[in-house]
Amino acid sequence: MACGCPTVVSNLSSLLEICSDASFYVNLYDLECIAEGIERVIEDENLKDTLIQKGFLRVKNFSWGKSAKEHIRAILELINRNSV
C-alpha cells in the first residue's frame, strides 16, 4: 500500500483489521477467486485507483514507532498485573 500498489489479500480476520477498505479481498482457499480478484483489480481502473488512494491513507495509521509503543504498553501492563 505504501508503494502505491493496489492490494489483493485473503479475507482472514487479521487482514480485514489491518487493510480495512483499502484492499480487495478474496477467499484464500479458492484459486479461481484469487485469480479473478487479481484480474479485476488490474482491469478495473476505478477500483485500482480507489484502492491505491485508500492504501495511502491506511498506511498512515501504522509506523514502527507506534507499534513499539503499543508493545511496550502491553508488556508494562502485564508486568503491573502480575506484580500485584
In this prediction, residue 83 carries a pLDDT of 78
Residue 84 has pLDDT above 80, yes or no: no
**Would you list the domain boundaries of the chain?**
7-82
Cell 484492499 sits on residue:
23
User: What is the helix, strand, coil percentage profile of the chain, to 5?
Assistant: 65, 10, 25
Give 6-62 pLDDT, tens digit per residue.
999 999 989 999 999 999 999 999 999 999 999 999 999 999 999 999 999 999 999
